[in-house]
Structure 1
Amino acid sequence: MTGENEAPAQIEWLTLAEVADATGETPGRVRRMLDDRQLVGSTRAGGFRVPAAFLVDGAPLGSLRGTLFVLHDIGFTDDEAIDWLFAPEDSIGIAPLEALRAGRKSEVRRVARTLA
């Protein structure tokens, strides 16, 4: 796991302007996506940034929102949620984000609930 203020090295980060460009949305709409937990970001990467892997085909990964709600409901901070999503998870066999991108949201959320 990374240090409290250290961003995981393997993550490609996007600024809000880059997220807006990638999604074709306005910066205001991107902020609304963050407020609605469709996306989550961190300031650890030098200014507020969002992991690029949270976008698929120019939109937020659909299964991310519900998973973020589960993680936040059990007490994870945004940084902790990002770290968990990118870290290999033995019970899943891959990083939770990879499993979400492969359509395995129920399995990821079931494992997340056991972390409480």
Structure 2
Amino acid sequence: MSETRLADHDLAALVPEWIDWAETARLLDVTVGKVKTMIRDHDLAAAVPVPGEGQKVPAAFVQDGLVVKGLPGLLTLMHDNRYDDREIIAWLFLDQDDLPGAPIDALRENRGTEVKRRAQAMAF
């Protein structure tokens, strides 16, 4: 009857591939310090997928050497609506019946307008 809260999803099972901050930095051609700043500034999101491991970034957030188009704005929007990185990552990777697929797939396919509209609606 009750839906699983975003924060309660198993991120390790939900996100197919994770990369550490060093690999993220390598793929984006920036320093690890810059990756940390990008996470703090909501240009990227990170979480601990498995207890005892460090924070990692979903590999799908990086495409062709750049942060996926539209992701930073979406992260800021969702943070402004009091979602944390863990909840945002879960939402981005959960399939949506009428999208189709998951919001991260839509962002990677340059279909971010609908994703942003859905994120705005979640604030209400």
Q: TM-score, normalised by structure 2?
A: 0.83
Q: Report if the CA contact (8 A) 2:61-2:71 is conserved.
A: yes
Matches within 5 A, 1:29-68: 29-45=34-50, 46-68=53-75
The verdict on how the C-alpha distance between 1:91 and 1:74 changes in structure 2, with shifts beyond 3 A counting, is farther
Q: Does 1:109 align with 2:116?
A: yes
Q: Which moved more, 1:41-50 or 1:4-13?
A: 4-13
Q: Identify which of 25, 32, 42 aligns with 1:27.
A: 32
Q: Report if the CA contact (8 A) 2:48-2:55 is conserved.
A: yes
Q: Does 1:92 align with 2:96?
A: no
Q: Report if the CA contact (8 A) 2:7-2:86 is conserved.
A: no
Instruction: State the shift of 1:102 in Å.
Output: 1.1
Q: Which has the higher contact order (CA 8 A, sep 6+)?
A: 2
The one-letter amino acid paired with 1:86 is F
The one-letter amino acid paired with 1:33 is M
The residue that corresponds to 2:8 in the other structure is 4
Q: C-alpha root-mean-square deviation of aligned residues, in Å?
A: 1.8
Q: Identify which of 23, 40, 43 aligns with 1:18.
A: 23
* CA displacement, residues 52-95 of structure 1 (integer Å, 9 cap, x when unaligned): 00001112112101111121122211101000000011231210
The verdict on how the C-alpha distance between 1:30 and 1:76 changes in structure 2, with shifts beyond 3 A counting, is same
Q: Report if the CA contact (8 A) 2:69-2:108 is conserved.
A: no
Q: Does 1:71 align with 2:78?
A: yes
Instruction: State the shift of 1:20 in Å.
Output: 1.2
Q: Report if the CA contact (8 A) 1:91-1:111 is conserved.
A: no
Q: TM-score, normalised by structure 1?
A: 0.89
